[in-house]
Chains A and B, each alone.
Chain A
């Protein structure tokens, strides 16, 4: 799969070259009986910040390691910038990798860690010094160049690892969970820094992550991986707003998923009958009439009210507040629907809870409704 999503993403980001910068064709990698990567195809354009997103063991890291040359596929080919990488060892590839553990050399200072890669290319000493100096400035670590990795904080190590990988000006930078070792606040800050640096240096980035928020903030495009295959490839918006499968809908963000039967399929809308209510969708997705289908509805796209809607219609349901999770900026409401199903609804806390006289609270009877463009049809 993935072919048609590709086509949809392409026009917006065509960089002018006909041939994709990274081309993965029919790549399969097995470890014993376990298929880590199962016959995948992927094209990545020059200058993209592409995220491989998936849970642990989905094959995303294996795919990255095959790009770096630490693993070789049993079937299929990988080419980078038009060159087939099948016979090219890691030390001759035009890629550099930032490791999840950072893999900084503990016996070398920050400066020497960064210079290591340049020394391998037999670059003159004075040029090495200049380039190390420039990259240290980029990651704001000029004052730490004499320190050993153990004397740095997690965030500083992360930047050294990034600098070490970037200083060689690779054609392709591979990042394996680059922010996983940082605490939440630092991670958010670094996400934007990383995206800025990518824009500044213009190198193609491929980032492996299990954190959907990270993938959404960083990436120009992403691929959602599951069990060695791509579930969906597209931009953050495409993947969030139009997930193609139950897996994607559930993995990216959260979703209320219902089973239903298509009762009408016309050019501009679809009507799906579920045992909760009738769902009316008008954003152009289309499925054959009579087919059984999954419908997903994001919790933040549901309106919650204690007042009954003015006139009954589709996209309406009633239930009772079963539980409330207060998150500060938003609250999550668990609504027990009349048919026993529990739905998640999130709502922003625009009014302070203590001054809310009309606040929705436990055991309240509530009316749920959503826009005709909100629900999403899932293919599988």
Chain B
């Protein structure tokens, strides 16, 4: 490719084949940029509009179970019906509001826990030797080789009243009565932190791997003790990794359905469960769609903040 560019750049009276090649190259650039746009349109924007359309409909007993947005009356007159009741309903009803707040509380807390554990883990991996590093990285990715659902079921077995942990503690004589862990918020935290930890560690690792170790030496050389160096040099330079990892944990954790359902039972209300219930048990697609849309906006907000920060950072850089 570069070879061709060099030729065309060198002389304007290029032979036919080279002009053709150049045009091909220009077209390739268009084709290559179209692919991500097409992908986003087909699998994100288009479905989003369908969901948005459903959220503005009324529930009816039919298949599909919602009213049409555009109707043609006799004589070819088109009427558009937009119903905002679903939004006013979920934004005024305390159940939905509390569930959103609870979801955010759980996902934010889980993100912080993941960060507190993930940061030193990522740092340790970056600093480990050439033999240990690939092994450690492998063990971080290893859980993905087993089905996510299976791993959550395994946690049920561990946390249950008659589960492995309680049995072990009782047999050791540390407790008499089993500690209630399954179907509590604690179990949900365990599940989310366990599941999403790699999503925190990997971006942090990628970020820290690029850090120039001579910066730490330079700081020490200028009289900075190791803790001070961490807070003034290492931490500020790993902010992009912290943000990326936090978003990768926070976003899916907020909408999480399986973990609160299996590990939290009915005791932990998260928005993913509400959405599922509206959709499948109540068959209220429009309300379910409205719940999804509100959730989307809740999640898009931090991404916009992140983009803004990144834009500013790259502007400075």
* A, B bound: yes
Chain B, 159-182, contact with A by CB distance < 8 Å: what is the 0/1 string?
A: 000000000000000000000000
Chain B, 204-236, contact with A by CB distance < 8 Å: what is the 0/1 string?
A: 000000001011011111111100100011001
What band does the interface of chain B fall in when counting residues whose beta carbon is under 8 Å from A? 10 to 19
Q: Is A247 an interface position by the 8 A CB rule?
A: no
Chain A, 64-106, contact with B by CB distance < 8 Å: what is the 0/1 string?
A: 0000111000000000000000000111110111010101111
Q: Roughly how many angstroms separate A99 CA and B221 CA in the complex, as a whole number?
A: 10
Q: Is B316 an interface position by the 8 A CB rule?
A: yes
Q: Roughly how many angstroms separate A89 CA and B218 CA in the complex, as a whole number?
A: 13
Cross-chain contact of B223 among A107, A120, A148 (Cβ < 8 A): A120
Chain A, 160-202, contact with B by CB distance < 8 Å: what is the 0/1 string?
A: 0000110010000000000000000000000000000000000
Smallest Cβ-Cβ distance to B317: which chain A residue: A150
Tell me the dominant secondary structure on chain B's binding face.
helix
Q: Is B140 an interface position by the 8 A CB rule?
A: no
Task: Say how far A109's CB is from chain B's closest CB, in angstroms.
Answer: 10
Task: Say how far A26's CB is from chain B's closest CB, in angstroms.
Answer: 25
Q: Is the CB–CB distance between A116 and B224 below 8 Å? A: yes
Q: Is the CB–CB distance between A168 and B222 below 8 Å? A: yes
Q: Roughly how many angstroms separate A279 CA and B221 CA in the complex, as a whole number?
A: 53
Q: Is the CB–CB distance between A106 and B219 below 8 Å? A: no
Q: Is the CB–CB distance between B223 and A168 below 8 Å? A: yes
A90 with B221, Cβ < 8 A, contacts A99-B214, A107-B237 known: yes
Q: Is A130 an interface position by the 8 A CB rule?
A: no
Smallest Cβ-Cβ distance to B313: which chain A residue: A107
Q: Is the CB–CB distance between B212 and A101 below 8 Å? A: yes
Q: Roughly how many angstroms separate A165 CA and B217 CA in the complex, as a whole number?
A: 13
Chain B, 224-254, contact with A by CB distance < 8 Å: what is the 0/1 string?
A: 1100100011001100000000000000000
Contacts of A116 in B (CB 8 A): 219, 222, 224, 232
Contacts of A96 in B (CB 8 A): 221-222
A164 with B317, Cβ < 8 A, contacts A103-B215, A120-B228 known: no
Q: Is the CB–CB distance between B214 and A90 below 8 Å? A: no
Q: Is the CB–CB distance between B217 and A148 below 8 Å? A: no
Contacts of B228 in A (CB 8 A): 120
Q: Roughly how many angstroms separate A97 CA and B216 CA in the complex, as a whole number?
A: 13
Q: Is A33 an interface position by the 8 A CB rule?
A: no
Q: Roughly how many angstroms separate A117 CA and B222 CA in the complex, as a whole number?
A: 5
Q: Is the CB–CB distance between A91 and B237 below 8 Å? A: no
Contacts of B316 in A (CB 8 A): 148
Q: Roughly how many angstroms separate A95 CA and B223 CA in the complex, as a whole number?
A: 9
Q: Is the CB–CB distance between A99 and B218 below 8 Å? A: yes
Smallest Cβ-Cβ distance to B221: which chain A residue: A97
Q: Roughly how many angstroms separate A90 CA and B217 CA in the complex, as a whole number?
A: 8
A120 with B224, Cβ < 8 A, contacts A103-B217, A150-B317 known: yes
Q: Is A18 an interface position by the 8 A CB rule?
A: no
Contacts of B317 in A (CB 8 A): 106, 148, 150
Smallest Cβ-Cβ distance to A121: which chain B residue: B223
Cross-chain contact of B212 among A70, A103, A120 (Cβ < 8 A): A103
Q: Is the CB–CB distance between B218 and A106 below 8 Å? A: no
Q: Is the CB–CB distance between B236 and A91 below 8 Å? A: no
Cross-chain contact of A89 among B214, B220, B232, B236 (Cβ < 8 A): B220
Q: Roughly how many angstroms separate A91 CA and B236 CA in the complex, as a whole number?
A: 20
Contacts of B222 in A (CB 8 A): 91, 96, 116-117, 120, 164, 168
Q: Roughly how many angstroms separate A105 CA and B228 CA in the complex, as a whole number?
A: 14
Q: Roughly how many angstroms separate A64 CA and B225 CA in the complex, as a whole number?
A: 20
Contacts of A92 in B (CB 8 A): 223
A103 with B218, Cβ < 8 A, contacts A120-B228, A148-B317, A150-B317 known: yes
Contacts of B220 in A (CB 8 A): 69-70, 89-91
Task: Say how far A34's CB is from chain B's closest CB, in angstroms.
Answer: 16
A101 with B223, Cβ < 8 A, contacts A106-B237, A107-B236, A107-B237 known: no
Q: Roughly how many angstroms separate A91 CA and B227 CA in the complex, as a whole number?
A: 12
Contacts of B236 in A (CB 8 A): 107
Smallest Cβ-Cβ distance to A117: which chain B residue: B222
Smallest Cβ-Cβ distance to B237: which chain A residue: A107
Contacts of B232 in A (CB 8 A): 116
Can you report 10 residue pairs joining A to B where beta carbons are below 8 Å apart?
A: A70-B220, A90-B221, A97-B221, A99-B214, A99-B218, A103-B215, A116-B232, A117-B222, A150-B317, A165-B221
Given contacts A106-B317, A120-B224, A148-B317, 18 further A-B pairs with CB under 8 A are: A68-B217, A69-B220, A70-B217, A90-B221, A91-B222, A91-B223, A96-B221, A96-B222, A97-B218, A101-B214, A103-B215, A105-B218, A105-B219, A105-B233, A121-B223, A148-B316, A165-B221, A168-B222
Q: Which 6 A/B pairs are nearest by Cβ-Cβ distance?
A: A117-B222, A120-B223, A103-B218, A103-B214, A90-B220, A91-B220
